[in-house]
Chain A
Amino acid sequence: MNLEQLVEKCKSQSSRAEKELFFRLAPKVLTLCRRYTKDEALAQDYLQECFLTLFKNIKKYDAAKGPFEAWFYRLCTNRILQSYRKSKREPEIEFRAEVPEQSLPEESLEAISEEQLLAAIRQLPDGYRQVLNLAIFDGWTHKEIANKLGITESTSRSQLARAKRLLKQFLQPLTKKNYAKRPA
């Protein structure tokens, strides 16, 4: 059964189809959730909320408007940002020193594993991480990001630039370590 057929069955509230859909998509959605938070338990909560929202709203999905996965990931992103806004406490005010531009050799990037990349992203401050995720993974424009997060477009741009610089800083020692590990 392909994904579209599965979705159609889920629309008719088939419990078996819902379970199959969950099994098929949950690992990838968990990656998405983990990208947005450094807290592992919170990522699991986000995963639950994403699927609860999906099963509540699955009838609203219109196949003519695009592929299901894109629609669902957008739904997940919105749900996560909403949950974040609801649960946020003291906003993070960053007093970071300016991060110098780092250079990473192309070969060294290849040696970095997915978990290492994910860990580096999760180390970023909340604001940077959100902008980076929305801009790079979800393909949002700076205007969309600005509207969603309540910031200006220039802030979005500068946060993305800083996020990348900071990410490279985090990845730098990994590349050296991985290089050292490589067989001669």
Chain B
Amino acid sequence: MQKDRLEEKLRTSLSEYPSPLDLEGAWSKLERTRNKEKKRRGVWFWWLGGAVAILGIFLITLSDSVEQEIDFTSNKLEKKELTPLIQVEEPTNITSRQSLVEVETGKNLPIDNRAKEKVLNLVSESDKQTKKPSPSSLPNSKSNTFNNRGMSTKLSDIKTPSVADPSKEDARVLPSTIRQSLSALPSRAISPLKEAASVSLKGLPLEEVRFRRKNQGAGSWWIGFSGTLGSQQRRLEVNSSDNSDIESWLNRREAAEQELEAYSFSFDIRKDFGSNWYFQTGLRHQLAFDRFVDQYERTFDKVLEDQLTEIIQRADGTTTEIRGDVTVEVTESLSSTIYNTQNVTELPLLVGYRQDLTGDFGLDLNLGVLYGFVQRTEGMVFSDSNASGAYQSLGQLPYRPSNLWGAQLQAGITYQLGEKWRCIGGFQTKYYPNTVQSNADFREGRLLFNATIGMQFILGQ
């Protein structure tokens, strides 16, 4: 009856009891919180916008690179229509040539004698049938120059294959693999002279070629993918001064942690400035695992309620049962393994320096800031306990999604794979001063050591 009175008193007194509250102040605080949430939703919008913008830049760059100008130093087959440099009357009696001359140029390519003979035959045949105009007789011949990637060459300086001495150095870089593609477009017939001129454009002095090869990275766009694998170290600190219980708890947690691993995968976009410096950004996702084992044991007096303790038999034959609490000493132990995951999506802004080493190898260093979003998932708890009742293990940290800042330092070795691809391997260090919300009563800094490997692909300028 007494119990019911207490319950009734509690219900009647407190069910409708209004606590004193500054309503205006509480309402304005609520409105502020709502506005913050709206802004947070806005942040996601900007993230999405940024990702779309990066994708857009990537696609535009990719489409531009298809139409890029002739690269004298690359080994690719040119598919660009040659711009007529000299207006020459087409010889009417040459009808057999209906194929496009595809030119493959490059340094150190073997000289194809058959192709060279073919060019010489073409020129001599052309000389027989038409009067070859000398460069000086051409209209505006002195001003006839062509411009390719900022390099201007006077037409008069061009040596035709017929006058090139195969023993000279220049001849070695002549289009030795001039191939007359029989499968080329039939509508693209060009005159032998034009052909010869276009052929001779490739006959740049060797020094020029060397210069261009050395500076091929200047102004180039690159895209790449890279992955990292490594370990992380965590530093837990208490924010406020009156949290000694939290401090001891964090210490215990630090001591209990067994393994901390981190993996990441990133999409990189890179722009070269000059021959050595570059800027790199992209999008990176990092997955980090925490694993810790919590072992706990306690001995206490467990109360077994409603146990029969005594039966009293009176002289008149009546009996009375006395029921009450019985206390027994119990030892409970608990062993839990907890796996947590931490997802970080981040945008790196890096400045790098690349230096050629011997051969195809290069040294690559970069440094920069990271801005991202971290979300932590409470992991699965695997417990082994002899506890009879509900008994929880070490609590999870009160993580909430939050933004984070960090810094990165990476050193690697690059290796050139052909003209377009480059692979990179090295070490990466990242540091995040705080990965939890600033108003939490503790801080968590992370230091990560990763091995990194990746591939890069040049898109062109």
Contact = CB atoms under 8 A, between A and B. Distances in A.
Interface of A: 19, 22-23, 26-28, 30-31, 34-35, 44, 47-48, 51-52, 55, 86-91, 93, 95, 98, 103-104, 106, 109-110, 112, 114, 117-118, 121, 136-137, 149-152, 155, 158, 161, 164, 167-168
Interface stretch (B7-15, B42-50, B215-223): B7-15
Interface in B1-60: 2-3, 5-7, 9-11, 13-21, 23, 26-27, 29-30, 33-34, 37
Contact of A104 (B6, B298, B325, B398): B6
A90 B391 CA distance: 11
A89 B395 contact: yes
B30 A136 contact: no
B385 to A, nearest CB: 13
Given A31-B19, A34-B19, A155-B390, A106 B5 contact: yes
A141 to B, nearest CB: 15
Contacts of B27: 19, 22-23, 26
A22 B22 CA distance: 12
Interface string B226-258: 000000000000000000011001000000000
A156 B391 CA distance: 13
Contacts of B18: 27-28, 30-31
B327 A90 contact: no
Interface of B: 2-3, 5-7, 9-11, 13-21, 23, 26-27, 29-30, 33-34, 37, 245-246, 249, 298, 300, 303, 305, 325, 327, 389-392, 394-396, 398, 400
Contacts of B391: 93
B15 A52 contact: no
A91 B392 contact: yes
Contact of B10 (A136, A151, A155): A136
Contact of A114 (B6, B13, B395): B13
Contacts of B17: 28, 31, 114, 118
Given A22-B30, A47-B26, A52-B30, A137 B298 contact: no
A52 B34 contact: yes
A155 B303 CA distance: 11
B23 A26 contact: yes
Contacts of B394: 90
Given A87-B398, A104-B6, 15 more contacts: A23-B27, A27-B20, A30-B21, A52-B34, A86-B400, A89-B249, A89-B398, A106-B5, A114-B13, A117-B9, A117-B13, A136-B7, A137-B10, A137-B15, A151-B389
29 contacts: A22-B23, A22-B26, A22-B27, A26-B26, A28-B17, A28-B19, A30-B18, A31-B19, A48-B26, A48-B33, A52-B37, A86-B398, A88-B398, A89-B246, A89-B398, A90-B395, A93-B391, A109-B6, A110-B9, A112-B9, A114-B14, A114-B17, A136-B10, A136-B11, A137-B14, A151-B389, A158-B303, A161-B305, A164-B6
Contact of A150 (B13, B249, B298, B390): B390
A87 B20 CA distance: 26
Contacts of B14: 31, 35, 114, 117-118, 121, 137
Contacts of A31: 14, 17-19
A47 B27 CA distance: 10
Given A27-B20, A150-B390, A168 B398 contact: no
B6 A152 contact: no
Contacts of A27: 18-21, 23
A85 B400 CA distance: 13
When A and B form their complex, which 9 residue pairs have the shortest distance between CB atoms, in order from nearest? Answer: A27-B18, A151-B390, A30-B19, A91-B392, A87-B398, A31-B19, A114-B17, A89-B395, A109-B9
Contacts of A26: 21, 23, 26-27
A44 B245 contact: no
B237 to A, nearest CB: 15
Contact of B11 (A48, A52, A103, A137): A137
Contacts of A98: 303, 325, 327
Residue with the highest number of chain A CB atoms closer than 10 Å, among B17, B18, B389: B17
A11 to B, nearest CB: 16
A137 B7 CA distance: 9
A22 B27 CA distance: 7
Nearest to B397: A89
Contacts of A22: 23, 26-27, 30
A155 B3 CA distance: 19
Given A86-B398, A117-B10, A44 B30 contact: no
Contacts of B249: 89-90
A118 B20 CA distance: 13
Contacts of B327: 98
